[in-house]
Structure 1
């Protein structure tokens, strides 16, 4: 609730923002990011960052100009009531309703704000105003997920949904017509947090790890009832895309937690192996509800050997990183490059300025996974560097021919810039900085929404 995490108190609309540098003409669309921004908290001591009402922050780029910036709360019923507005109503799952705060994606012509745990996504319009809860024309069997993957080949949407209230794990596929065409219910003991998943050309990877729902857990406040369960086996499930629940192969792995895989793909050597790049935590919520315990999250490569039934782990970086991304055209396919937020290692700064927050983004890392090298672009030790989204220069451009877009705190203004970097040279001067009139609080995930697909 303090520092760069503090919620903003008003919705803002600004036009024709000042720009340092030159916005590429090819960037024709909107960069939109989601994140928690509670309008009011009854008990700040019990508040957990993950539980704040979602607010979208968007910048419209066109013709080399920054046409507008908007921030808008997602109008769940509770949020609409707090704002004194008419309730939108709409479908519900288990009477659950929440203003999604985790991600935003466009699919089948609709812009959707996403969250996990059993709530429905919410549709918003081109100017980020809420349309209402969305259930894919009544075909969504439960909630959706915080993370979805759109297959670049079929253009279908895939996700793994779970629910804490009525325990289930479901692999879902939504066709390009906007209707759920496939559902696989996967039996999983307990109520694990399955924040994300991985998709390859032929398989779905399920992360069944020792962070579980437990409202009575020691040190866990009522607003975020997940804990580390010592002794619970950690395992990776491998489901053929067209398989059923009985076809899942569960492979034992060392205890850990994974919020965010970068990408996964089948190897091209005929060995049947799967390669996954991801950010791994040794433990999470073991000592309390505020964040990682022990070693910081690091980038690893997991090689899944289905013939031997083993998963080989290889650490790729000792630096703390999170929020990994790739060129969206390479999802499910072999990729050379990846990007992540570099987290501050200055524990004294974190403790003094932001008690209870483990790490804050201070820069971006570009990984060359083929050569095993990396480049770092640092911004500020005070944090406030958000997830970097890659936008290709064109449909046939090379894998790193494009731009990285990220929100970065500008401490001299106590506001935020939308920073545009050339992906081939992230250490150079930014291509452009769009100077927003307000601070964008530290948040979660976003996407580039082009005007033309």
Structure 2
């Protein structure tokens, strides 16, 4: 629910056709759909959560996608594309697709947000960020046991994953993005030493 107003902000997705992602707002008493807008994404993403601040809706556009056409070729419906673009959108509460300010970020997989809030000219987004998604699993032809074992081989929370492997890539670390809409500036930091606290996505 939106802080202050109590309105319910939600998204709905379609894996078959556009619009792939629609955002809606329901009145605090649940009696009225006050706003509904196509976010005009060009791919069907797995959007597990959105963020809500006093003024904005926060959209996570990460490269974990669903595409029914992949099934025709024998590929999985879901796929995490390491080379795909990743961005975070800041949208005014009653805005439309054209009003979203997008911030390009390093490729990640985030299913769960911890908090989002306005801080002066910045929007602060905190969530658990992993280098890769264990959903839907390895590509066909990969050794599943080796792939999963490597992803869970977590040696040090301070070490980045090797770009040539998925070692430790399933462990999520608490991450903070500070987005300054007016200047289109972005700052990212890890929130804590995840040797002591981590989640698996």
Q: Do the structures match in fold with TM over 0.5?
A: yes
Matches of 1:309 and 1:219 in 2, distance apart? 41
Instruction: State the aligned residue count.
Output: 171
Q: 1:248 maps to which residue?
A: 100
* Contact in 1 for aligned 2:174/2:198 (Cα 8 Å): no
* Contact in 2 for aligned 1:252/1:310 (Cα 8 Å): no
**RMSD value over aligned CA atoms?**
2.8
Match of 2:78 among 215, 226, 233: 226
* Contact in 2 for aligned 1:281/1:298 (Cα 8 Å): yes
Deviation at 1:155, TM superposition (A): 1.8
The 3-state SS of whatever aligns with 1:243 is coil
Q: 1:282 maps to which residue?
A: 131
**What TM-score results when the alignment is normalised by the length of structure 1?**
0.35
Greater Cα shift, 160-169 or 287-296: 287-296
Matched, 1:237 2:89: yes
Deviation at 1:313, TM superposition (A): 0.9
Matches of 1:184 and 1:264 in 2, distance apart? 21
* Contact in 1 for aligned 2:4/2:54 (Cα 8 Å): no
What pairs with 1:51-62 in structure 2 (closer than 5 Å)? none
**What TM-score results when the alignment is normalised by the length of structure 2?**
0.74
Cα distance change of structure 1 residues 220 and 240 upon mapping to structure 2, 3 Å threshold? same
Match of 2:5 among 136, 154, 158: 154
Deviation at 1:283, TM superposition (A): 1.3
Matched, 1:209 2:58: no
Q: 1:197 maps to which residue?
A: 50
Matches of 1:177 and 1:277 in 2, distance apart? 28
The 3-state SS of whatever aligns with 2:45 is coil
* Contact in 1 for aligned 2:122/2:179 (Cα 8 Å): yes
* Contact in 2 for aligned 1:220/1:288 (Cα 8 Å): no
What pairs with 1:391-410 in structure 2 (closer than 5 Å)? none
Match of 1:164 among 4, 12, 15: 15
Matches of 2:111 and 2:30 in 1, distance apart? 29
Deviation at 1:310, TM superposition (A): 2.5
The structure having more radius of gyration, on CA atoms, is: 1
Query: Which consecutive segments of 4 or more residues in structure 1 shift more than 4 A?
Result: 217-221, 289-293
The 3-state SS of whatever aligns with 1:170 is strand
Deviation at 1:320, TM superposition (A): 7.1
Q: What are structure 2's unaligned runs of at least 5 residues? A: 152-165
Deviation at 1:165, TM superposition (A): 2.4
Deviation at 1:286, TM superposition (A): 7.8
Matches of 1:228 and 1:305 in 2, distance apart? 28
Matches of 1:238 and 1:305 in 2, distance apart? 10
Cα distance change of structure 1 residues 231 and 239 upon mapping to structure 2, 3 Å threshold? same
Cα distance change of structure 1 residues 320 and 244 upon mapping to structure 2, 3 Å threshold? farther
The 3-state SS of whatever aligns with 1:195 is coil
Q: What are structure 1's unaligned runs of at least 5 residues? A: 1-149, 322-340, 344-358, 361-453
Matches of 2:35 and 2:191 in 1, distance apart? 35
Deviation at 1:307, TM superposition (A): 2.5
Matched, 1:316 2:169: no
